[in-house]
Amino acid sequence: MIITSIFQIIIGFIGLICIAIPFSKDRKLINFRHIALAIILQIFLAFALLKIPFIVQVFAYLSDGVTALQAATQEGAEFVFGYLSNSSTSPFEASGTGNSMIFAFQILPLIIVISSLSALLWFWNILPLIIRAISKIFEKLFNIGGPIGLGATANIIMGQVEAPLLVRPYLSRMSEKELLILMTAGMSTVSGSIMIALVSMLAPQFPDINLIQHLVSASILSIPAAIMYANIMIPSSEVTNFDGNSVPKVYDSSMDAITRGTRDGLDICLNVGAILIAFIALVSLLNSLLGILGGWIGIADLSLQLILGYIFFPIVWLMGVPLSETLASAELLGLKTALNEFVAYGALANIEPDALSDRSKLITLYALCGFANFSSVGILVSGISAMAPERKNDLIKVSIKALIGATLASCMTGLVIGIF
């Protein structure tokens, strides 16, 4: 069994790289040294983030901080929404049907609080210090410039549109490859505010692990993979550097950071809530139609999830998921790509206990940790082109490569985590 797993992992690394090569602009210029470095760095980072006691302890403290944030957020939410923000204090008797957790009042407020706190920590220069230190590693290893290093790495904490704002003055000068790195990194990670909301969603399914440790690790590990896939698809040695060494200023004061962070968090909340309502309704409608079609052709359980599961089946097997569990995981990855990560994580949170083993659940958790879906392509193209209108055609040109690269980057991260 161990030999079979090792063989599957080796085939997985080769397969996930080979899938990207046909999308390369010039296969002869692909730098295989960068590919090897990215895989080695991912494995090293996974070991460091999950196995080194000091770092594990840091994540334990961070988890305690998240718990405190959740409690503090609930106090603020209870003041505004009353018992709606706390399912345990409802004045009504539970009916036994539906979801006792009210997503809009118990999960979305976390996004607002974390968005505000992240902005404040950015103004205090705490987050820039951490992000710039990580960025320097990627810049040295992969021969990328400071602006793209900062813009890509900032996605660990910031959203896919907020991160490019840090390098807005340089967007007009970036090469196609650098724009591709920026978009791929943005879609292969999730922002800090979304992470905290996901922790609350997934806690019942993963009661015995430090979820914040794994979600942060997933975003960190996906950055070198995103850079690697961008280098495969558009090999180039062009580098855009900072005019100076300082990280661009974003906020004018602590109060400006808090108010703007709160406003941005509210925008994210409204966007997430609206998309979930629309997408879940559309999936339900489509599944009803597919159920009718399935009855005609003799497939009783035909659904969007099943179709996407078969499409993503080989990719999920390459991630290291056992063959007997591959379809269940593939359905979730397909949902994430076609719809979004919240829908997919919601399905993972409610998956049948015996559908996936603990290892397969964790691999799937990592593979789903990213904004790689079709709606994100539109969000990124419109968001970045608003900052640099002259680059809109270039952004459109690389957008599908970015979606493919980001999906594969998250899958590569799932494969690496399966080793541990």
Amino acid found at 271 = N
Phi, psi of 86, deg, nearest 5:
-145, 105
Q: What angle do CA 81, 99, 292 make, to 5 degrees?
A: 130
Residues 266, 121: Cα–Cα separation, whole Å: 18
Q: Is the dihedral of CA 232, 337, 361, 54 positive or negative?
A: positive
| Mean residue pLDDT across the chain | 84
pLDDT at residue 321 greater than cutoff 80: yes
68 vs 173, higher pLDDT? 173
pLDDT reading at 96 higher than 50? no
Q: What is the mean pLDDT of residues 264-269?
A: 80
The per-residue pLDDT for range 13-49, each reduced to its tens digit, is 999 999 999 999 888 888 888 899 999 999 999 999 9
pLDDT at position 219 over 80: yes
Percent of the chain clearing pLDDT 70 (strictly above): 93
Name the most confidently modeled range: 12-21, 30-39, 231-240, 278-287: 12-21
Find the angle CA(275)-CA(206)-CA(312) to the nearest 5 degrees: 55
Confidence of residue 205 (pLDDT cuts 50, 70, 90): confident
Q: Which residues make Cβ contacts (< 8 Å) with residue 366, sequence separation at least 6? A: 214, 217, 218, 221, 410, 413, 414, 417
| Among 273-277, 289-293, 397-401, the least confident range | 273-277
For the chain, the 3-state helix, strand and coil shares in percent, each to the nearest 5, are 75, 0, 25
Kindly write down the DSSP assignment for every residue of 385-420, as one continuous string: HHH-GGGHHHHHHHHHHHHHHHHHHHHHHHHHHHH-
* Res 13: pLDDT: 94
> Could you tell me the pLDDT band of residue 161, with boundaries at 50, 70 and 90?
confident
DSSP code string of 262-328: HHHHHHHHHHHHHHHHHHHHHHHHHHHHHHHHHHHHT-TT--HHHHHHHHHHHHHHHTT--GGGHHH
pLDDT at position 97 is 41
pLDDT recorded at residue 92: 47
pLDDT of residue 212 exceeding 70, the answer is yes
**pLDDT band per the 50, 70, 90 thresholds, residue 231:** very high
> What pLDDT, on the 0 to 100 scale, is given for residue 98?
43
Could you read off the pLDDT of 119-157 as tens digits, one per residue?
888 888 888 888 888 888 888 888 888 888 888 888 888
Residue 335, pLDDT score: 86
Helix (H, G, I), strand (E, B) or coil at 73: helix
Average of per-residue pLDDT across 374-385:
82
Backbone conformation region of residue 322, classed left if phi is above 0, alpha if psi is from -120 to 50, else beta: beta
Q: Is the pLDDT of residue 209 over 50?
A: yes
User: How sure is the predictor about 368, in pLDDT bands with cuts at 50, 70 and 90?
Assistant: very high
Taking CA 160 as the corner, what is the angle to CA 169 and CA 103, rounded to the nearest 5 degrees?
145
Give the pTM: 0.83
Identity at 85, one-letter amino acid code: S
Percent pLDDT > 90 in the chain is 27
Higher-scoring residue by pLDDT: 73, 356: 356
Q: Which of 353, 311, 352 is nearest to 333 (CA)?
A: 311
